[in-house]
């Protein structure tokens, strides 16, 4: 698995709530801004993103906007247009009358854990990926998403979910290429072949006994040169990065499996349960067993809520 795939998988970045709406101008949609990560795609027509604390941003056909959590905002056909909440819009369904129409796709993502937090911190409040800057395959995926959103065939929801996930990968790639200095450190490191070998190796096998010396050998660099380059590009020491990676694996295992602490310790590269518990408590403020007992019920409640939301949205969109 490549590093971007790993990060998105660990962050559980997948579509949770989805809608595809046709609107005839003038129109406006209001969003609470509470979702950790939401993607908006203006499939055709034109519009405006109107944040509550910023100047409006012009949107053209094919533009993608990634929105992280914050103040409420709106997407409108023209500044000053009457608006309705996205909840009411989903309940009402698409407009089918004549006039200047736009189709807009909105998908909220589930993003979890420290890996998800790191991913979100690399994004601004709004990241706009204009159509002209998109990879041709990204534009093809958006076209396919638009076509599928218009259909009613069997398996449609699964296809829409996967296409929404595909959009996120392409959008993140493009944004980080455009805003390289704002990209996560691991992504910046992938542009350096020496560091890329190390990042890929420790992501593939975090349980191995990694030392700075062994990482430097993998990079084919001196120990001092490797440490300095790693910290300059990634923003943290090799040891800190490895610990953070292992903690991400541990979080996942604690929340989603019934594995013992000893088994988890071995899987993430610690020689014994005590060493693992010490490192985990230093990173999280709680021992792993207590952290599991505190966070697992929350995860289960959120999963139940998400499933109910998906069912409600799907029913309202097919009315």
Inter-residue contact 142 to 86 (CB < 8 Å)? no
What are the pLDDT digits (tens) for 182-231? 888 889 999 999 999 999 999 999 999 999 999 999 999 999 999 999 99
Domain with CATH 1.10.10.60 in the chain: 185-295
Range list for CATH 2.60.120.280 in the chain: 3-179
pLDDT score, position 165 = 83
**CATH topology (fold) of 3-179:** Jelly Rolls (2.60.120)
Q: What's the rounded mean pLDDT across residues 289-295?
A: 92
Q: pLDDT tens across 63-72, in order?
A: 999 999 999 9
CB-hemisphere CA count at 13 Å for 26? 7
| DSSP 8-state symbol, 181 | G
Q: Which residue has the tokens 């996205």?
A: 86
CATH architecture of 185-295: Orthogonal Bundle (1.10)
What pLDDT is stored for residue 1 in this prediction? 60
pLDDT of 256 strictly over 70: yes
pTM of this structure: 0.80
Distance CA 100, CA 81 (A): 14
Q: What is the pLDDT of residue 314?
A: 44
3-class DSSP state of 25 = coil
pLDDT digit string, tens, across residues 150-167: 777 777 777 877 888 888
What integer is the mean pLDDT of 12-18?
68
* Mean pLDDT to the nearest integer, 263-268: 96
pLDDT at 171: 92
The predicted structure's pLDDT at residue 4: 82
Average pLDDT, integer, range 295-318: 54
> What is the average pLDDT across 89-110?
89
Distance CA 267, CA 289 (A): 16
């Amino acid at each position: 698995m490549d590093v971007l795939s790993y990060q998105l998988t660990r962050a559980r970045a997948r579509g949770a709530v989805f809608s595809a709406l046709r609107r005839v101008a003038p129109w406006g949609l209001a969003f609470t801004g509470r979702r950790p990560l939401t993607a908006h795609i203006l499939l055709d027509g034109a519009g405006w993103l109107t944040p509550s604390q910023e100047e409006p941003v012009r949107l053209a056909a094919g533009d993608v906007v990634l929105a992280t959590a914050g103040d409420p905002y709106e997407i409108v056909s023209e500044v000053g247009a009457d608006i309705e909440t996205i909840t009411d819009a989903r309940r009402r369904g698409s407009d089918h009358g004549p006039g200047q129409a736009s189709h807009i796709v909105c998908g909220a993502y589930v993003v979890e854990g420290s890996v998800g937090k790191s991913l979100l911190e690399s994004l601004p409040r709004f990241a706009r990926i204009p159509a002209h800057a998109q990879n041709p395959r990204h534009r093809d995926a958006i076209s396919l998403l638009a076509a599928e959103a218009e259909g009613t065939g069997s398996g449609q929801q699964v296809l829409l979910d996967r296409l929404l996930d595909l959009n996120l990968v392409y959008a993140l790639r493009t944004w980080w290429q455009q805003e390289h200095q704002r990209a996560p450190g691991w992504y910046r490191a992938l542009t350096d072949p020496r560091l890329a070998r190390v990042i890929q190796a420790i992501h593939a096998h975090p349980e191995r006994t990694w030392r700075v010396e062994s990482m430097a050998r993998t990079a084919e660099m001196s120990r001092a040169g490797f440490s300095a380059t790693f910290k300059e590009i990634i923003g943290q020491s090799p040891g800190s990065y490895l610990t953070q990676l292992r903690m991400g694996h541990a979080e996942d295992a604690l929340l989603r499996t019934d594995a013992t602490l000893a088994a988890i310790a071995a899987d993430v590269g610690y020689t014994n349960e005590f060493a693992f518990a010490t490192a985990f408590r230093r990173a999280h403020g709680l021992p792993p067993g207590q952290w599991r007992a505190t966070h697992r019920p929350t995860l289960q409640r959120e999963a139940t809520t998400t499933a109910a939301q998906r069912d409600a949205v799907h029913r309202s969109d097919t009315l």
